[in-house]
Amino acid sequence: MTTYLIPFLLTLFAGLSTSIGGIIAMNKKSSSKKFLSFSLGLSAGVMIYVSFIEIFPKAFSSLEEVYGSTKGYLYTTIAFFFGVGFIALIDRIVPKAENPHEQDEMNIYETNHDHTLMRMGLFSALAIAIHNFPEGLATFIAAVESPALGISIAIAIAIHNIPEGIAVSVPIYHATKSRKKAFLYTFLSGLSEPIGAIIGFFLLYTFLSESLFGFVFAMVAGIMVYISLDELLPTAEKHGEHHIAIYGLMTGMIIMAASLVLFIQ
C-alpha cells in the first residue's frame, strides 16, 4: 500500500491544482500573461521530453522483454498512438463550444449574460473532469514506476490545470457572484484525476504484468504528448509572446534532462 500512497497523493495534488486557478480568477489582476505563457511552455517541455526520453523507452523495454525487439517496438508504437487517439477522441466528444481548450479566456471575462456564463462554467467543469481522468491515470502509473518521474509529471500537469480552473471559476463567479460556488465547482472538476488514480490502482493491483505495463506506459506517453501539443503550447501562445512560450518549452526540457541525469547518477 505504501508503494501506491505517494503516486495517489501526487495525482491528488495535480488534480486539485485547478483550485489554484479558481483563486487566481477571482483576483485576475494578480495574474501575469507572460508568466502564464512561460509556465505552460515549461510544462509542455517537461511532458514532451519525459515522454520520449523516459516513458516511451521504459514501455519498449517492458514489451521487448515479452515479445522481442521487433514486435516489442511495433507494439510500443501502436500503444503510443492509441494513447494519442484516446485523448483526441475525448477531446472530440466534448462539444467544441463547451470545451475549455477551444475557448478564448478573455471572452469569458467579457461575457455578461448570467445564464450563458453559468452554463459555460458547468460545461467547462464537466469537460475538464473528462480530460483530467486519463491525466490522473497517467500520473499515477508513472509515479508507481518512478516516484521522481511521477513528481515531474505531477508538477507539469498541475501547472496546466491552473488555467483550466480559471475557465471554470470565472463564468460561475460572474454568474452567481458567489466565490464559494465558483471555488466548489473548480475543486470538484479536479477530483477526476485522483479518481483516475484509483482506477489505476485497481488496474495495477489486479492485472499488472510486464506486458500490460508496457502497453499502458506507451499510452501514457501518447497522452502526454497530445496534451502538450494540443493544449499547453496553443494556450501558451494565446496568452503571451511566441518566444516566451518557446523559452518556457526549452527550460522545461533542460530541467527534465538535468533531473534525469542526476537521478541516473
CA-nearest of 175, 184, 189 to 123 is 189
Inform me whether the pLDDT recorded for 102 exceeds 90: no
Round to whole Å and give the CA distance between 239 and 167. Answer: 14
Inform me whether the pLDDT recorded for 16 exceeds 70: yes
Name the residue with higher pLDDT: 32 or 200: 200
Please report the pLDDT score of residue 84 as a whole number: 93
Please report the pLDDT score of residue 106 as a whole number: 43
130-147 as b/e: b if 16+ CB within 10 A: bbbbbbbbbbbbbbbbbe
Please report the pLDDT score of residue 58 as a whole number: 85
Q: What is the DSSP letter of 100?
A: G
Portion of the chain with pLDDT greater than 90, in percent: 12
Inform me whether the pLDDT recorded for 78 exceeds 90: yes
Name the residue with higher pLDDT: 25 or 146: 146
Round to whole Å and give the CA distance between 260 and 265. Answer: 8
At residue 246 the predicted structure's pLDDT band, cuts being 50, 70 and 90, is very high
At residue 108 the predicted structure's pLDDT band, cuts being 50, 70 and 90, is very low
Contact assessment for residue 230 and residue 101, using Cβ atoms and an 8 Å cutoff: yes
Please report the pLDDT score of residue 96 as a whole number: 53
Round the average pLDDT of the chain to a whole number and report it.
Answer: 78
Please report the pLDDT score of residue 105 as a whole number: 46
Contact assessment for residue 220 and residue 55, using Cβ atoms and an 8 Å cutoff: yes
Name the residue with higher pLDDT: 81 or 167: 81
Give the residue-averaged pLDDT of 159-169.
Answer: 74
Please report the pLDDT score of residue 209 as a whole number: 77
Burial level of 103, CB count in 10 A (0-12/13-18/19+)? Answer: middle
Please report the pLDDT score of residue 34 as a whole number: 79
Cell of 158: 498541475
Name the residue with higher pLDDT: 99 or 73: 73
* pTM for the full predicted model: 0.65
Please report the pLDDT score of residue 205 as a whole number: 67
Round to whole Å and give the CA distance between 171 and 98. Answer: 12
CA-nearest of 64, 90, 92 to 76 is 64
At residue 79 the predicted structure's pLDDT band, cuts being 50, 70 and 90, is very high
Please report the pLDDT score of residue 69 as a whole number: 94
Please report the pLDDT score of residue 265 as a whole number: 43
Give the residue-averaged pLDDT of 169-176.
Answer: 74
Portion of the chain with pLDDT greater than 70, in percent: 77
Q: Residues 6 or more apart from 112 whose CB is under 8 A from it?
A: 174
pLDDT tens digits, one per residue of 31-71: 567 777 887 788 788 888 888 988 899 889 989 999 999 99
Name the residue with higher pLDDT: 72 or 156: 72
CA separation (Å) from 85 to 47, 50, 92, 129, 223? 17, 19, 10, 18, 8
